[in-house]
Chains A and B, each alone.
Chain A
Amino acid sequence: MTVPAVRACAVAIASLLVFAAAARAQDTEPEPINDSEGYTPPPETATPLSINGYVDVGFAKAQGDGTSFAPADTRVPLDYGVDGFAPAVNARGDAASTDPGPGRTVNGFLPRSAGIGGRPSFLLNTMDVDFKYTAPGAPLMVFSRVQFLPRFFGLGDGGDGTRVVVEQAFGRLVPFDSQELALSVGKFDSVFGIEYLDNQANIRTGVTPSLIARYTTGQSIGAKLFYRLQIAPLSSALSLNVAVTNSGNFVEVLQPPDANLTGAPVASGRLGYELNAAALQAKLGVSAMAGPRNDQPERSAQQHAYGADLRIAVAGLYLNAEYVRVDEGQGGPKTTSVGTFPFASAFWARGGYAQLAYALALDAGPLRKVTLYGRYDRRHAWFEGYTAITVDRITGGLRLDLWEAVILKGEYLVNRELVGAPTVENNVFTSSLVYSW
């Protein structure tokens, strides 16, 4: 080999060596110079007790006198011929007013009253405190929800003063690690339908509950069992939620939950199917309730309810829909949270709602999310021998989530009396500022 050839060869080899070194340098990443294995708080630092809550302040204005009563209507009882729950002003479903006027008789089929009538008014709706205790070393959780409901006297309106309500208090046991099975005993939410999942002001998309919430979102005392079976290949799950309680699913103003008046419990339950795909979540369910009416003492006076529900969430759109039918037999002297009455009339109701909401997540200073929503409600109901009524409601609203603890909502309710009930002006503008802590 000549010298120039040796030189060329050596240079080529050197070049190859250098290039190869360069290629290896690109394929092999150097080790990070800093690393962390993560941090897990020691068990002893876990706080078993957590205290949360919220304050719900509102501003509302109802048309007319804030009730659904027609001034010239002198039937007895007045609340059988109208939907007294329609002019709702807050998440609890309190009506702007339930005052029938002097000399008129009502029979307790009414919500609680905010006592503002047709006057625009700020409202302190609820101050809520939740206590949750997770027992260390045991699969047990204890939860209680205490609510302070400030109300005022003096307007002759049924406002009944500030109350402290233990809305829920129960213990939940999850006995098996390998099963989604939970047993709860105490006072807890309904298992019927889906609206009870949203019945707190800091959870609910809008301000007010639906026209059928009175049948499905009550709390009662008893025992509840929840079981869910995951079906991974289908990204699905089946769930069963059953409860045996004093009063079933009706709200407290209609059926007191604190004692069983008949001596026989009410059974209720929901069978659900969930599809939890990446882009779409859909949940379907059917519910049922059966047992004696807990607003009177006779076991033979039965109540039954059947329902179906649907939830779909996709791309920021949320669709919730629910249907319920209720049948109540005639019963004995009636006790509700509003008062005691001589008898309980037989009653039937059919109704439902559909709500569509669109939520847009933002990062614009304090504004975290904007939600636009609309809901349509319809309720057909009649007391035996009384005029059957059909009412509906169109609700539209806007919700703003600010920082991580503040929610501002405003909505307008258009209440319409379609059949039976006299047409009254009972639309409502209401708003809610909820601070969660």
Chain B
Amino acid sequence: MRARIPRSLAFAPLLAALAVTSTSPASAAPADGRGWLGEEMPLPLAVRTAQDLAVKAAAEKQYLIFNLLAGGKLAWDSGDFATAATKWEALLRVHGLDPEIDKVMRPLAKEARGRAGGTASVPAPPVAVAPPPEFAPPPPDATEPAPRAHAAGATVSGTVTGGGSHGPGGAVIWLKRIGGETPKPAPARGKVVTQRNKTFIPHVLVVPVGTKVSFRNEDAIFHNIFSLSKPNDFDTGLYKQGATYQQTFKHTGVVQILCNIHSSMLGVIVVVDTPYFAQAEASGAFSIKGLTPGEYELKVWHEAASKLNEQRLTVGPGGVRGLSLQVGGDKRAPQFVPDKSGKPRQSHIGY
């Protein structure tokens, strides 16, 4: 995948060029050799359109970040730890600060304050909230990557009931934003479906799209795991005890997994394209973290339900607690599971 440079940083060369060529007083070299640090706002950029305004806001934001970053470093180098700490603490309060910069500078800011003799007053890590109006981000366009979800945020929790004789455990709940873009989920790591005693463990697994799942055979016999659920169909072929096969699920959907040798083996992988998902415990309890307030479409899937449970949900800043969801129990386990050619098999025959 090609690296995509955030738009905010795409102007770095421009900033560099402006810093070099500008003759404004803001760019005049200070007498202490820091003349290339400009601290005066706004930047002298012509604004004739709304887009010019957005560009100027973005440039000023990056300009501010740069000045605080570099200025603090210069102060640190000269032993002025108090100034360094002040500048870096201000840097860490900038809305929308790149997490990588935050990661690098936070400990430095703390140390600077420590050396300056004061207690650290490092602000909390930035949260994904809307920036101040003067630094309003530009309107998104098609080339803009989806915004990242952040761990902090509202939580939706509750209990699923129903599921017939199976009980509610294993129900998959997921949320997608209405009227906005749902953040792209990060693929999960380290997901394993084990074949043990001719069963799939776990029996039901939910993963974000793009997740690589390992199928590991712990039985002393061969297995041949496959799925006919398009477009996530796959076939591991025969593999023996101890061997592992990896499959990346690139499409959303419910993936029924079977063994071509043992017709009693049945499992499910639910692939979702949202970072807001959870799987109910045996009691039906679930919790989904990291949501931003707004309107969401909620869906609940259960292997014993013939239909998805769909509803709208409004998530406020405090999240939603005690949500009660119902799933049906009307769907029976398939009487015949197919072999990998699609031919149904009678499980009592056993081959």
Contact = CB atoms under 8 A, between A and B. Distances in A.
Direct contact of A and B (CB under 8 A): yes
Interface of A: 3-4, 6-8, 10-12, 14-15, 17-19, 21-27, 29-42, 45, 47, 50, 52, 54, 130, 132, 134, 141, 143, 168, 172, 174, 177-180, 182, 189, 197, 200, 202-203, 226, 228, 230, 232, 235, 237, 239, 241, 276, 278, 281, 313-314, 316, 318, 359, 361, 404, 436-437
Contacts of A23: 3
A281 B341 contact: yes
Contact of B167 (A25, A45, A203): A45
Nearest to B238: A232
A15 to B, nearest CB: 4
17 contacts: A3-B35, A6-B36, A7-B19, A10-B36, A11-B16, A14-B12, A14-B16, A34-B288, A36-B207, A38-B191, A38-B193, A38-B205, A130-B335, A132-B348, A134-B264, A180-B261, A200-B346
A345 to B, nearest CB: 34
A318 B342 CA distance: 10
Contact of B149 (A33, A228, A241, A404): A33
B290 A7 contact: no
Interface of B: 3-6, 9, 12-13, 15-16, 19-20, 27, 29, 33, 35-36, 62, 66, 69-70, 98-101, 104, 148-151, 153, 165-167, 169-170, 185-188, 191, 193, 197, 199, 201-208, 219-222, 224, 230, 235, 237-240, 260-261, 264, 275-282, 288-290, 332-336, 339-344, 346-351
A184 to B, nearest CB: 8
Given A4-B20, A25-B98, A32 B235 contact: no
Nearest to A189: B349
Please name the 10 residue pairs, one residue from A and one from B, whose CB atoms are nearest each other, closest first. Answer: A38-B202, A7-B36, A313-B341, A39-B170, A178-B220, A33-B290, A38-B205, A36-B279, A143-B348, A3-B29
Given A24-B100, A40-B201, A35 B188 contact: yes
Contact of B348 (A10, A130, A276): A130
Given A4-B20, A203-B336, A276-B260, A34 B66 contact: no
Contacts of B15: 11, 15
Contacts of B4: 26
Query: Which of B100, B166, B340, B346 has the most CB atoms of chain A within a 10 A radius of its CB?
Result: B346
B169 A25 contact: no
A363 to B, nearest CB: 9
A119 B8 CA distance: 82
Contacts of B342: 313, 316, 359, 361
A51 to B, nearest CB: 9
A101 B181 CA distance: 77
B289 A33 contact: yes
Contact of B221 (A37, A180, A313, A314): A180
Contacts of B202: 37-40
A159 B232 CA distance: 51
Contacts of B104: 21
Contacts of B100: 21, 24-25
B213 to A, nearest CB: 10
A241 B350 CA distance: 12
